[in-house]
Amino acid sequence: MKALILGVDGYIGWPLALRLLNRGHEVAGADSFFTRRRVREVESDSAIPIGTMGRRLAALKENGLHMEFLRGDVSNAAFVYRLIEETKPDVVVHLAEQRSAPYSMLGLKQASDTMYRNVISTLNLSYALKDLSPGTHILKLGTMGEYGTPNIEIPEGFFDIEYKGRKDSLPFPKFAGSWYHWTKVHDSNNLMFANRLWKLPVTDVMQGVVYGTRTRDITDTSLFTRFDIDEVWGTALNRFCAQAVAGLPITPYGKGGQTRGFLSLEDSITCLTLAAENPPEEGEYRVFNQFDQHYSVNQLATYVKEEYERTHEGKAEIVHVENPRVEKEEHFYQPVSEKLRHLGYHPSGDLRVDLRSIMNDLEKFREKILSLKKVITPRTFWKSSSGLSEKPSGR
C-alpha cells in the first residue's frame, strides 16, 4: 500500500508514519510546520523535545526506514494537486488541519483562519482526488467532539429513526463546542457530499481524545512524537500527567463531570492503520467512532493522582479551575464504537499502566515541563473570544 500522510510532523502523523513504514508500506508525508510555528506563538513548546524534519528523516534512515517528505500547505490547491500527482497514493490520511479548539477560540482572526484552513484543505483534497485519482481512499481525521453531548446514544455517523410515523436513515445531528470542532463538522458534511457527487471512498474518523508518549514503534528518543501540555495546544490527560510529574496541581476545568471518549496513542495508530489497510467499499462513505473507553475528566484526574502517588514519595493535588469553555459539566454520554472492533481492534492496554508509563517518560523532561508552567493555566475563554484587532483574550 502507498500511503500519503498529510500532517506527518504532528502528534498522530509521525507515529502513524512509523507504524505504516514498519508494516512494510510505502509512505510519503507532507507538512507545513503550522503547529510548530503556532505553538511558538503562544510561547509554548513540545514538552518532549523533537528534532527537525531533517533529523527525523535521518532517524528513520538509522532505523532502516525511508519516507519521502514534501513541505507545503494543503490549503494551497496547487500543492495538493502536485502531491497527488507525484505520489499517486492508495490512501491519503488527512491529519493536516488546525487541531486546537482553544486556538480557534482566541479571536475572530484565529476562528476565520481555522474555518478557511480546515474547510478548504478538505475541499482541495476532494477535487484533487476526483481529478487525478478517484479510487484513492480518503482517511480523514474528525473528532468525537462533532457530536457534542446529546441526551441519546451516539451512533457511528448515521442512525435509523422513526418520526411521525415515517422512517429514514439520516446523518446523526451534530453539535460541536468550538469553532475548531465545527470545522470538523463542516468537513464531514463536505466529504459526505463529495462522496455523493463523485463516489470518492471516504473513512471519516470521529476520534476521541488521545493520550500517551509512546507507540510500539517509538523505540528510541530520536523517534519521539511531540507532546503538548499548554492551555492552547495541549489536551486534558496528557496535561494531567505532566502536571503530576512536575509537582504542579492537576487542573480539571470546572466541575470535571465532562465525559469524553479517550484512547491511547498506541490505539489511535492501530485504528488508523486498520482503517487504511481495510478501505471502504467502492463509493462508500463510512464513519468510525474511534475511542477505547469514555471517562469523566474527574475520573482521569483521580487516576493520574493515584498512579502518581503509587509510584512516588510525594502527593499529587487536584485543583479545579474556572472552565474557559462553554460546555455541559454534567451530562449523559453513551457513544457507540463497534466498526473498528469488527475490523479487529482490541484496545492494547490498561489505562492505569499507560499512565505510569507516560509519567515515567515525562520524568526525564521535568525541567522542561516546569518551564512551560506559565502557559498551562487557561487564558483562552470561549465567551470572551476577541474581536477584530483586539489582543487575544486574557493576554
- Of 118-147, binders to its own copies (CB under 8 A) are 119-120, 123-124, 127-128, 130-131
**CA–CA distance, 104 with 342 (Å, rounded to integer):** 35
- Residue 241 is classified by DSSP as H
Closest CA to 204 of 144, 141, 267: 141
**CA–CA distance, 207 with 296 (Å, rounded to integer):** 16
Q: Does 343 bind its own copies (CB under 8 A)?
A: no
**CA–CA distance, 118 with 187 (Å, rounded to integer):** 7
Residues 319, 326, 343, 353: which binds its own copies (CB under 8 A)?
A: 326
**Cβ contacts of residue 248 below 8 Å, gap of 6+?**
242, 369, 370, 373, 376
Residues 62, 68, 168, 322: which binds its own copies (CB under 8 A)?
A: 168
77 or 370: whose CB is closer to its own copies? Answer: 77
E-state strands within the chain: 2-6, 26-31, 68-71, 91-94, 137-143, 158-163, 166-171, 202-207, 209-211, 259-264, 285-290, 293-296
Q: Does 344 bind its own copies (CB under 8 A)?
A: no
Relative to beta strand 166-171, strand 285-290 is unpaired
Closest CA to 319 of 304, 337, 339: 304
91 or 111: whose CB is closer to its own copies? Answer: 111
Respond yes or no: is residue 130 known to be catalytic.
Answer: no
75 or 268: whose CB is closer to its own copies? Answer: 75
- Of 235-264, binders to its own copies (CB under 8 A) are none
- Of 180-209, binders to its own copies (CB under 8 A) are 182, 185-186, 189-190, 192-193, 196-198
C-beta separation of 226 from 48 below 8 A: yes
Q: Does 78 bind its own copies (CB under 8 A)?
A: yes
Q: Does 1 bind its own copies (CB under 8 A)?
A: no
* Binding footprint of its own copies on the chain (CB under 8 A): 77-78, 81, 108, 111-112, 115-116, 119-120, 123-124, 127-128, 130-131, 150-153, 159, 161, 163-164, 166-168, 170-176, 179, 182, 185-186, 189-190, 192-193, 196-198, 326, 332, 382-383, 385, 387-388, 390
Catalytic residues: 143, 180, 184
